[in-house]
Amino acid sequence: MEEPSLLSIKGKIVPANSPATSTFPREEKRCSFITPNSDPVYIAYHDEEWGVPVHDDKLLFELLALTGAQVGSDWTSVLKKREAFREAFSGFDAEIVAKFSEKKITSISAEYGLDISQVRGVVDNSNRILEVKREVGSFDKYLWGYVNHKPISTQYKSCQKIPVKTSKSETISKDMVKRGFRFVGPTVIHSFMQAGGLSNDHLITCPRHLQCIASASQPPRAVAPPS
């Protein structure tokens, strides 16, 4: 099973030996894409953050950038490069990124080994996010409006049943493309929805399925900016 969209949404990725990971009940059955060969970083993210609703604009911008960047790569690699992406894009502060000059874009591409079109895409998207914020108040409000501000809770019993895109991701993708966003095809947007908790795609046999439903019922917590 190909790794689905697992991205960290907190200040740092949970260490593999963290209490939350080490105390995950052995008798409980994780989503089947987690295997004995899965990287500890990947396992920790599944156990702590995948499917948890995200309402912080900077973190949503980060997720959008990283879900686009993972195309042609794998999620473990993306997770391990996440801090470098944060550094390159100023903590995903759209106000700052939108002001990147062509010289800055070229410098980031060279320093971090990123395709220059990818860097330009992130900068372009920062401008689109600012436009959305001026229009509706926040990137969070814009995105969550598509799901009536409540996560979609799916009922998949097998990873093979989880689609790579949905009618909802196609609808969001279509509007974002119309607005001028880049790297926002329906498959990328579906991954983004999973990563940001707009869609809870944990298998119903996985304890995290119900835990993410419970977390969605709690008021959004203030998230400290990345260090």
Residue 46 labeled ligand binder: yes
DSSP code, position 13: P
Question: 202: annotated binding-site residue?
Answer: yes
Cβ neighbours for 200, distance < 8 A, ≥ 6 positions apart: 51, 151, 152, 153, 154, 209, 212, 213, 216
CA separation for the pair 226, 219 (Å, rounded): 21
Question: Phi/psi zone of residue 91: left (φ > 0), alpha (ψ -120 to 50 degrees), beta?
Answer: left
- The answer to whether the annotation marks 206 as part of a ligand binding site is yes
CA distance 129 to 84: 21
Binding-site members are: 31, 46, 202, 206
Binding-site members for Zn(2+) are: 31, 46, 202, 206
